[in-house]
Amino acid sequence: MATAFSATLPLHGSSSQENRLLLPPTRLPPPPSSFLGSTRSLPFRRLNHAHAARRSPVVAVQEIVKEKKPTNPLLITKEEGLVLYEDMILGRSFEDMCAQMYYRGKMFGFVHLYNGQEAVSTGFIKLLTKSDSVVSTYRDHVHALSKGVSARAVMSELFGKVTGCCRGQGGSMHMFSKEHNMLGGFAFIGEGIPVATGAAFTSKYKREVLKQDCDDVTVAFFGDGTCNNGQFYECLNMAALYKLPIIFVVENNLWAIGMSHLRSTSDPEIWKKGPAFGMPGVHVDGMDVLKVREVAKEAVIRARRGEGPTLVECETYRFRGHSLADPDELRDAAEKAKYAARDPITALKKYLIENKLAKEGELKTIEKKIDELVEEAVEFADASPQPGRSQLLENVFADPKGFGIGPDGRYRCEDPKFTEGTAQV
């Protein structure tokens, strides 16, 4: 696991002086043999001594994990393993069903599927509490499911039905649930990061100013294409400045629609942007849920202890095109085959069986249960009613006597003349 923390991370339950893994400030990790699917070696840029001396010492995550010396050599218990497996199967099965429903004309607009990236969502979100917050992107269905939003509510939202988590007004790219602190998917890249930073600031304000018992953390998910966006850097700076309890998770699937990550950024190693702002930066294999989970544990614990933000780059891969409207002709077939052979669900299944944490029959039972759950979600969504026309202007105008509602208290869109000269609603 090629990872590097750029700040000292004291281990839990023991003296921080005994457990700090310090390297000289000027020393950087050795260059990897390959990175991001590239066959060429990417040299690390060396810092001059004066500049490097101002940096925090570097700690390797794998060294921290090694130093813990757990009594149980396994990274997870049987119960934890089954939870992870069920969540990943739910994400995969749900997205496969979305593809079927899209091509049958049950969904409209752009639908971006998460197949292949399940280890990232599961590895982080299943460590969170209900009061922790998650902010997503336009590829948000599985993040919502992992956070606890029901398959019924997510599928109904995709169908544009009133029983959806946003009453049919959000659609594929805008999953939101106040109950589960799922603070939304966002259609434009980068626009969710300031929202996540604000949520993290709220947690810190509650604890330090209002003196409430609050250790809530926020996880912001976004892609590699977002990391050349100004809001990303502004929020890294603010989060580090105020030591906010937030984890910035880059789901680096190597492609920003049809643009290769290696061609679009001057330094493709995104995790290195963390140390530039004074926070730990980590690169982890995003196709391995157990590796993601170990890094996520450290980042979440740091945030809860008030030690500030972490930037985690998860190298992953999407098994489908950018959206269901994308024929996926730009990516090399060999590259796609390479990552398909590293399917994160297959890898977890193998780990559970080989380490005698689960039997094949138990996993098949989970798969059958999820298939039935997703089928039932489709039936529920299909049978649910469409939103009424009176809902059209709700949550749009603050003034109840404004454009949306007439002086008589009725919605203007109910007036037969409302749509005259326009397409019928």
CA distance 360 to 424: 54
For helices 61-68 and 289-304, angle between their N-to-C axes, nearest 10 degrees: 90
| Residue 296, pLDDT score | 98
**Residue type for position 348:** L
Q: Does 110 share its domain with 170?
A: yes
Q: Is residue 304 part of a domain?
A: yes
Domain of 184, CATH number, reads 3.40.50.970
Q: How many structural domains is the chain composed of?
A: 2
Q: Does 302 share its domain with 398?
A: no
Q: Does 132 share its domain with 82?
A: yes
Q: Is residue 40 part of a domain?
A: no
Q: Is residue 49 part of a domain?
A: no
Contact 345, 275 (CB under 8 A): no
For 101-146, write each residue's pLDDT tens digit.
999 999 988 999 999 999 999 999 999 999 999 999 999 999 999 9
Q: Does 310 share its domain with 392?
A: no
Q: Is residue 59 part of a domain?
A: no
Range of the domain at 115: 70-381
For 152-169, write each residue's pLDDT tens digit.
999 999 999 999 999 999
Q: Is 154 exposed, middle or buried (0-12, 13-18, 19+ CB in 10 A)?
A: buried
Q: Is residue 218 part of a domain?
A: yes
CA distance 388 to 281: 48
Q: Does 312 share its domain with 238?
A: yes
> Helix, strand, or coil here: 229?
coil
Q: Does 226 share its domain with 351?
A: yes
Q: Hunting for tokens 């590259």 — which residue is that?
A: 335
For 207-255, write each residue's pLDDT tens digit.
999 999 999 999 999 999 999 999 999 999 999 999 999 999 999 999 9
What tokens were used for 83? 């939870």
Q: Is residue 328 part of a domain?
A: yes
For 262-279, write each residue's pLDDT tens digit.
999 999 999 999 999 999
For 379-402, write each residue's pLDDT tens digit.
999 999 999 877 877 777 665 455
259-260 vs 255-256, strand pairing mode: antiparallel
> 158: which strand partners?
none
Q: Does 399 share its domain with 328?
A: no
Q: Is residue 51 part of a domain?
A: no
Q: Is residue 77 part of a domain?
A: yes
Q: Does 263 share its domain with 392?
A: no
Q: Does 184 share its domain with 310?
A: yes
Nearest in space to 310 (alpha carbons), one of 269, 267, 275: 275
CA distance 284 to 248: 13
Compute, in degrees rounded to 10, the torsion defined by CA atoms 17, 20, 23, 26. -80
Q: Does 357 share its domain with 230?
A: yes
CA distance 176 to 396: 16
What tokens were used for 417? 């003349």
Q: Does 198 share its domain with 121?
A: yes
Q: Does 125 share its domain with 233?
A: yes
